[in-house]
Amino acid sequence: MARHLITSALPYINGIKHLGNMVGSMLPADVYARYLRQRGHEVLYICATDEHGTPAELAAKDAGLPVDEFCARQHDAQKAVYDGFELHFDHFGRTSSRQNVEITQHIARKLHENGFIEERTTRQVYSLADGRFLPDRYIIGTCPHCGYEAARGDQCENCTRVLDPTDLLDARSAVSGSTELEVRETKHLFLLQSRLQGEVEQFVDEHGKEWPTLASSIARKWLTEGLHDRSITRDLTWGVPVPADTWPELAEDGKVFYVWFDAPIGYIGATKEWADAAPEGEERDWRSWWYDVAGTVRYTQFMAKDNVPFHTVMFPATQLGTREPWKKVDFVKAFNWLTYYGGKFSTSQNRGIFTDAALGLLPADYWRYFLMAGAPESDDSSFSWELFASVVNKDLADTLGNFVNRVLSFSRKRFGEQVPAGHAAGEPERKLGEEIARLLAEYEEHLEALQFRKAAAALRALWSAGNSYLEEKAPWLEIKQDQDAAALTLRTAMNLIHLYAVVSEPFIPAAARAMRGTFALGDDTRRWVTAAEARALDALPAGTPFTVPPVLFAKITEEDLDTYRDRFGAENA
């Protein structure tokens, strides 16, 4: 079995994230990791909070906290939300960790040794009102490319173009709002990406043909436009310090590395955190996942489209320039954006639902399934409460939840609290087994290909097959003529419930546990279902005790929808 390294784009530290952030990185990574573990693969799923850079300092200032304390609190708050969504990270680290500082500084030294980092005198914006140089995100203004009036000094959120602060029109300080800005000379380190263009092109040519079009097209667009040398240091108090043994003058000036230099390295740093946190008696080797592992590890990254350039071009350039055998990404799963009624999520305008509020409304499985069933893979998706209610009510409450409740309640009423025996399986059961095996293979194929909307549709089809079988056999009528025939139907349907418990776990882990816990099998350690087992549908022998669980999924009512729209804003908000 292959060893799978999985990372999802690091959530930034300045506040709880909205549903779009969840569906564009961490949730699909968790679904994929869960699936691979169930299939017997060795998996390491790594994530971390991205803690450096201007927004962290500004958010800490607004909160009235030292930036390190602010980040520690936010890390814990975000981790609590991700635990609530049952994101099963092997480790959820921090880019401010000692391990990330050490590895970032090591990589910078190697790039310097190989001639890919150069010290340059630059002209940078200085705020007279603030008495300091302003790093890129401390400056806001109008994007020269699209006219967006709230562009940051490093990137325009509207058109995603990477910017330098001096590119902005009508620039002002994000600290004081002052327009009293002037350009002064200062020294910074530059990563000479232009010298690595050919190597990055070769890397993308070799690996990019496997990537989704969204990821490969963005990477190739950047390469076609040409890689430019990029400043990788900033004038901030919070960040990975420039090492004094290599650049003493810059270290004395308090320079730190640019957040987009150390953040991707944070995947490696968080893996070292995981290794260092091993329980007593357990050995973990972080290098066995990242260093000189050609052919033994498959590395998959998950991210939204705005993060693609940094992961497909800039980070590979950094790794290549070290001349060390760092593991580079094999597959980039990029997502478009989830919008809220076609517009952006906005905390200040009370538009959209954020992940902590979502968990306060409904359990995680409701959100997990809905988000993955409509994942923005081929284009942007739009969240609406009406669509959310429709999917939850039809797929989760009616198709799955009602099937489970009908089968178990009717069987308990007519045959007691053990799986009934009845006749041997006949032609309807054989046909059902073939259909289930076919749909299961389709489900597996889509998950292997990281096609999550198609995988969710195949899972829904598996659930629907059970309902079709139940309607065809109609045990509530069979029992009037032949009790053993009804018992066979119910035994087969219970075997479907157990199969659903196993294969639904990547999408709805809590409901999967509830379904599996319904049956007192004792040694129920099954990870997955083979095609032969799907055809046989006999994992549950007659006589197995069972219980009827509480309702798996409650329907969302019109009254609920009115409450949600009032609280979170909607189309005309």
Counted residue by residue, the chain has a size of: 573
pLDDT, average across residues 339-350: 76
What's the CA gap between 436 and 99, in Å, rounded? 48
Question: What residues form the annotated binding site?
Answer: 143, 146, 156, 159, 347
Residue 453 confidence class, pLDDT cut points 50, 70, 90: very high
Residue 398: CB atoms within 10 Å: 15
Residue 314: CB atoms within 10 Å: 22
Residue 58 confidence class, pLDDT cut points 50, 70, 90: confident
Query: 508-526: per-residue pLDDT in tens?
Result: 999 999 999 999 988 888 8
Q: Quick one: CA torsion of 232, 233, 234, 240, rounded to 10 degrees? A: 110
- The mean-pLDDT minimum among 260-264, 525-529, 532-536 falls in 525-529
Pick from 46-55, 169-178, 442-451 the range whose average pLDDT is largest: 442-451
Question: What residues form the annotated binding site for Zn(2+)?
Answer: 143, 146, 156, 159
Give the pair of three-digit tokens for residue 246. Answer: 């290599």
**Res 573: pLDDT:** 42
SS (H, E, C) 134-201: CCHHHEEEECCCCCCCCEECCECCCCCCECCHHHCEEEEECCCCCCCEEEEEEEEEEECHHHHHHHHH
**Res 154: pLDDT:** 83
Question: What residues form the annotated binding site for ATP?
Answer: 347
> Is residue 109 pLDDT above 80, yes or no?
yes
SS (H, E, C) 538-556: CCCCCCCEECCCCCCCCCC
Average pLDDT, the chain: 94
DSSP-derived secondary structure letter, 418: B
Fold agreement between 3-104+261-368 and 117-256:
no
Domain covering 372-536: architecture: Orthogonal Bundle (1.10)
- Phi and psi dihedrals of 130, rounded to 5? -90, -15
Query: 288-301: per-residue pLDDT in tens?
Result: 999 999 889 999 99
What's the CA gap between 383 and 367, in Å, rounded? 11
Residue 220 confidence class, pLDDT cut points 50, 70, 90: very high
Residue 140 confidence class, pLDDT cut points 50, 70, 90: very high
pLDDT, average across residues 91-103: 98
Query: 179-200: per-residue pLDDT in tens?
Result: 999 988 999 999 999 999 999 9
**Res 345: pLDDT:** 79
Residue 546 confidence class, pLDDT cut points 50, 70, 90: very high
Q: Give me the residue spans of the domains in the chain.
A: 3-104+261-368, 117-256, 372-536
What's the CA gap between 325 and 440, in Å, rounded? 39
DSSP string, 247-264: -HHHHHTT-EE-HHHHHH
Domain covering 117-256: architecture: Beta Complex (2.170)
**What angle is formed at CA 536 by the lines to CA 532 and CA 541, rounded to 5 degrees?**
125
- The mean-pLDDT minimum among 66-70, 98-102, 178-182, 323-327 falls in 178-182
What's the CA gap between 16 and 13, in Å, rounded? 8
> Is residue 570 pLDDT above 90, yes or no?
no
SS3 122: strand
pLDDT, average across residues 53-74: 92
pLDDT, average across residues 416-437: 96
pLDDT, average across residues 96-120: 98
SS (H, E, C) 457-490: HHHHHHHHHHHHHHHHHCHHHHHHHCHHHHHHHH
Query: 26-51: per-residue pLDDT in tens?
Result: 999 999 999 999 999 999 999 999 99
What's domain 3-104+261-368's superfamily in CATH?
A: HUPs (3.40.50.620)
